[in-house]
Amino acid sequence: MSDVETPVKESLVARQPICGLNQKTFGYELLFRNSAANYATIIDPDLATAQVIVNSFMEIGLDRIVGPSLAFINVSQDFIVKNRCRTLPPDRVVFEILEDTVPDRELIDALTSLSRSGYRFALDDYEFTNQTAPLLPHCEFVKVDLRQVSRDRIGEQLKSLQGNKLLAEKVETRDEYDFCKALGFEYFQGYYFCKPHIIAGTKVPTSRISIFRLLAKLRDPEVSTKELETIVSEDLSLSYKLLRYINSAYVGLKRKVESVGHAVRMVGTDHIRLLASLIMLTSMDDKPRELLSVSLIRAKMCELLATRLAAPNKESFFTVGLFSTLDAFLDCSMSDALDKLPLSDEIRNALLARKGTLGEVLQCVLAYEQTDLAAKDIRLDTTAIRNAYVESVFWGENLMNGLAA
């Protein structure tokens, strides 16, 4: 047997958003992992990493997984020294140097050469030690993991990083985001924007609750075409934006659509419900775009997995994924948010306790965001789940880009 067995081609690939101070998406860290159920014996992990990255990009395509944003990718010392970085375009990637990397002369020379060719680097999981300090001049970004370095130490040591852009990772709450922002961090990685920002004594604005009540009506699988037309037509702003989008060059209809009823007949009930839902969510412009993006990806992925499971009522699966960020949109607990909305018990149980098939599928989607499917309960292999994720990312980006056009 050879020293290296080729890894099983089936692998997970997910992305975690990196946002700037304006909470706009700057890039995504790509998370790669061999599927838990299909691990091959890997004696050379560096070659395995290279194969997973290259195969994933060849099979999926960089644009499909990150759109126009930068891709942050963990690479080993061997990957850099052996010039494998040059297999990817320098204007699309930032390579993350792992925390256990030894900064020897060979590595420094390789970094210098790659930097001259336009490649950018980030020092991952920096713990303010002398071992990796020689790498700092070659790294545009320095990533500090909030789970590995205490707050006191972060505040004390940041003066040593005057020439680097600071990126906080594992930012999971608004408090952590505010703390890092006050210290001078410019970039933030994590799902903090998917968590509610609850301030004691503050009530959810009635207008925001009204948006989600209307959204719940739109997502009702029993809503008739006539009811749908009425719901959309009664909201002047909604109907105007919907007709403007339907008549845009992006949609490409040959005939001008002049009414909501005409729009329903031209593009179909399901598409109108989707577009109307998206328009309502984008009206909450105090929330980051990435929150809506995550909501759409989860919704579509839940729907696709339901299709693969031959589950009835795929509309409910879409709704569960879409409303999985409801607490973040309303800045209250999920329980309080659901008390204000006319949703079925099945959807409520899925969102609150991950119960039933709806809840199991949502839990699978949430686990995939972290490339953690070791405990998945649904009856699908990891290839089907991975493909559903990639398709959902591509679908969500296209939909949002079209609405912004």
For 27-59, how does the pLDDT look when each residue is reduced to its tens digit (9 = 90+)?
Answer: 999 887 765 444 444 455 566 566 657 666 777
**Which pLDDT band holds residue 100 (cuts at 50, 70, 90)?**
confident
| C-alpha to C-alpha distance for 245 and 252, rounded to whole angstroms | 10
Q: Would you say residue 306 has pLDDT above 90?
A: yes
Amino acid identity at 176: E
Instruction: Give yes or no for a contact between 123 and 77, defined as CB atoms under 8 angstroms apart.
Output: no
Residue whose entry in the numeric block shows the structure tokens 């700092």? 136
Quote the CA–CA distance of 158 and 59 in Å, as a whole number: 40
- Minimum mean pLDDT among 137-146, 173-182, 192-201, 295-304: which range? 192-201
**Contact between 267 and 286 (Cβ < 8 Å):** no
Least confident residue range of 119-123, 273-277, 355-359: 273-277
Tokens of 320: 């569960």
- pLDDT tens, 308-322? 999 988 899 999 999
DSSP sequence for 261-326: HHHHHHH-HHHHHHHHHHHHHHT-TTS-HHHHHHHHHHHHHHHHHHHHTT-S-HHHHHHHHHGGGH
Work out the pLDDT band at 381, boundaries 50, 70, 90.
confident
Number of CB atoms found within 10 A of residue 16's CB: 18
Supply the mean pLDDT for the chain: 85
pLDDT in tens, 194-220: 988 887 667 777 888 888 988 888 888
**Residue 201's pLDDT is what?**
67
Q: Which CATH superfamily is domain 11-194 in?
A: EAL domain (3.20.20.450)
Q: Where are the domains of the chain?
A: 11-194, 206-404
Query: CATH classification of 206-404, choosing from 3.40.640.10, 1.10.3210.10, 3.30.530.20, 1.10.599.10?
Result: 1.10.3210.10
Segment 132-156, tens digit of pLDDT? 889 999 999 999 999 888 888 888 8
